[in-house]
């Protein structure tokens, strides 16, 4: 998080596999209860309901604002970020994101969704939080993970942001994003996990715990027998091949461009993919996108705060009229809000 005067900027990357802030990672799992759960843990209490955070996975949905789940998960992420500095009461500005091709159509709705309560009170891990939500900016996913690398991105570059539910593809030519060449595919890490589980079931007759696949994706290793390892590794390699086929559909050519890979799928490609090591750059910080949101939001708010206030127009001189029909005085700046921080994305 960053601070600007009395405002705390918290970036929240709402992925389908993990919710990330600049400093925390939480699995995108949520279960609601009408009464207090028996077991303690990552419990958030809000609006007369209890939510267990971080167990399981949130199912893929094209509209993240269709229910309260991502809102509650965002509250938990903000609380975890604030807890790092023992803050429970704050004025918060949210920096968030959406897949590249969803930003234009869903940005305003998502912004309203995350700011639907200007004041919100909730309890998380037995601590009460009192937040005032000042606003929100929504940025394109993936691109923010490489904003600190733009200076090195001369020529033609392709960015592949492989999340749990989607893969976002963007061209960045001569350090500038190409808006007409942004694509979103429903092809994320979770699809690879499903493929590996099915491969083990079909070939070994065993129902596989998905945590084993996730460990192999992250590290390339797992404490399992060679038979199972080879079966899972084969499925992951096939999925890597599918990813590069999709990239080639968007005219990826390793001889003509560099490929930047970010998101949870970066480890998948690095550990099991076949690629030109001199032409592929991996951004393995899973919080890189959230850090990019935070930086862009901070810069935007800082710039807005430095803008000179619009001077109020002088009031029109009142005519020398003492009659009962004297017109009511009107000022042009009655609704001037130029000194308020911008909240539009």
Task: Summarize the confidence of residues 179-201 as an average pLDDT.
Answer: 93
Q: Are residues 272 and 154 in the same domain?
A: yes
pLDDT in the model for residue 334: 33
Task: Summarize the confidence of residues 119-127 as an average pLDDT.
Answer: 96
Q: Are residues 28 and 106 in the same domain?
A: yes
Q: Are residues 157 and 134 in the same domain?
A: no
The answer to whether residue 301 sits within a structural domain is: no
pLDDT in the model for residue 58: 73
Which of 94, 116, 140 represents a domain boundary (last residue)?
140
pLDDT band, very low/low/confident/very high, at 39 (cuts 50, 70, 90) = confident
Q: Are residues 121 and 156 in the same domain?
A: no
C-alpha span between 253 and 60 (Å, rounded): 30
Which of 105, 140, 175 represents a domain boundary (last residue)?
140
What is the chain's mean pLDDT, rounded? 88
Q: Are residues 123 and 205 in the same domain?
A: no
Provide the number of structural domains found in the chain. 2
Query: Domain with 50 in it: what CATH number?
Result: 3.30.420.40
The answer to whether residue 291 sits within a structural domain is: no
Q: Are residues 52 and 28 in the same domain?
A: yes
Which of 88, 122, 140 represents a domain boundary (last residue)?
140
pLDDT band, very low/low/confident/very high, at 141 (cuts 50, 70, 90) = confident
pLDDT digits (tens, 9 = 90+) for 196-238: 999 999 999 999 999 999 999 999 999 999 999 999 999 999 9
pLDDT digits (tens, 9 = 90+) for 65-115: 888 999 999 999 999 999 999 999 999 999 999 988 888 889 999 999 999
pLDDT in the model for residue 338: 34
Higher pLDDT, 345 or 177: 177
C-alpha span between 114 and 117 (Å, rounded): 8
The answer to whether residue 300 sits within a structural domain is: no
Q: Which long-range contacts (CB under 8 A, 24 or more apart) does 170-177 make?
A: 170/100, 170/140, 170/142, 170/143, 172/143, 172/146, 172/260, 175/150, 175/151, 177/143
pLDDT in the model for residue 228: 97
pLDDT in the model for residue 345: 40
The answer to whether residue 202 sits within a structural domain is: yes
Most confident of 55-64, 134-143, 249-258, 325-334: 249-258
pLDDT at 127 over 80: yes
Q: Are residues 33 and 154 in the same domain?
A: no
The answer to whether residue 228 sits within a structural domain is: yes
The answer to whether residue 169 sits within a structural domain is: yes
pLDDT in the model for residue 64: 83
Q: Are residues 154 and 129 in the same domain?
A: no
Q: Are residues 99 and 195 in the same domain?
A: no
Q: Are residues 70 and 171 in the same domain?
A: no
Q: How far is CA 167 from the centre of its chain?
A: 13
pLDDT at 25 over 90: yes
pLDDT at 164 over 50: yes
Q: Are residues 57 and 165 in the same domain?
A: no
Contact 200, 230 (CB under 8 A): no
The answer to whether residue 307 sits within a structural domain is: no
Task: Summarize the confidence of residues 34-38 as an average pLDDT.
Answer: 90
Higher pLDDT, 194 or 337: 194
Domain around 8: 2-140
Q: Give the number of other Cβ atoms within 10 Å of residue 253's Cβ.
A: 12
Q: Are residues 55 and 136 in the same domain?
A: yes
pLDDT band, very low/low/confident/very high, at 122 (cuts 50, 70, 90) = very high
pLDDT digits (tens, 9 = 90+) for 264-320: 899 999 999 999 999 999 998 999 999 999 999 999 999 998 877 666 666 655 554
The dihedral through the CA atoms of 132, 301, 72, 114 has a sign that is: positive
pLDDT band, very low/low/confident/very high, at 59 (cuts 50, 70, 90) = confident
The answer to whether residue 295 sits within a structural domain is: no
């Amino acid at each position: 998080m960053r601070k600007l005067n009395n405002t705390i900027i918290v970036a929240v990357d709402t992925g389908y596999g993990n919710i990330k802030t600049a400093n925390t990672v939480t699995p995108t799992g949520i279960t609601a209860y009408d009464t207090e759960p028996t077991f303690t843990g990552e419990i958030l209490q809000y609006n007369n309901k209890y939510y267990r955070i971080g167990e399981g996975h949130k199912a893929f949905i094209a509209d993240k604002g269709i229910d309260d789940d991502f809102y509650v998960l965002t509250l938990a992420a903000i609380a975890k970020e604030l807890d790092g500095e023992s803050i429970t009461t704050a004025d918060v500005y949210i920096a968030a994101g959406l897949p590249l091709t969803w930003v234009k159509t869903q940005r305003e709705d998502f912004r309203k969704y995350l700011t639907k309560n200007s004041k919100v009170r909730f309890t998380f891990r037995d601590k009460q939080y009192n937040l005032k939500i000042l606003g929100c900016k929504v940025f394109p996913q993936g691109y923010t993970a490489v904003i600190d690398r733009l200076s090195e991105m001369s020529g033609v570059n392709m960015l592949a942001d492989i999340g749990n539910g989607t893969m976002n593809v963007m061209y960045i030519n001569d350090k500038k994003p190409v808006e007409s060449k942004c694509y979103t595919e429903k092809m994320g890490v979770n699809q690879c996990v499903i493929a590996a589980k099915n491969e083990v079931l079909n070939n070994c007759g065993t129902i596989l715990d998905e945590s084993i696949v996730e460990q192999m994706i992250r590290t390339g290793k797992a404490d399992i027998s060679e038979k199972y390892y080879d079966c899972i590794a084969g499925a992951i390699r096939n999925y890597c091949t599918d990813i590069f086929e999709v990239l080639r559909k968007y005219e990826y050519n390793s001889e003509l461009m560099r490929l930047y890979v970010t998101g949870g799928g970066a480890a998948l490609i690095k550990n099991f993919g076949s690629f030109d090591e001199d032409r592929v750059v991996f951004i393995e910080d899973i919080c890189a996108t959230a850090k990019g949101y935070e930086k862009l939001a901070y810069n935007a708010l800082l710039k807005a705060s430095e803008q000179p206030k619009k001077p109020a127009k002088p009031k029109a001189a009142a005519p020398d009229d003492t009659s009962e029909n004297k017109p009511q005085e009107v000022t042009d700046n009655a609704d001037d809000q130029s000194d308020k921080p911008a909240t539009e994305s």
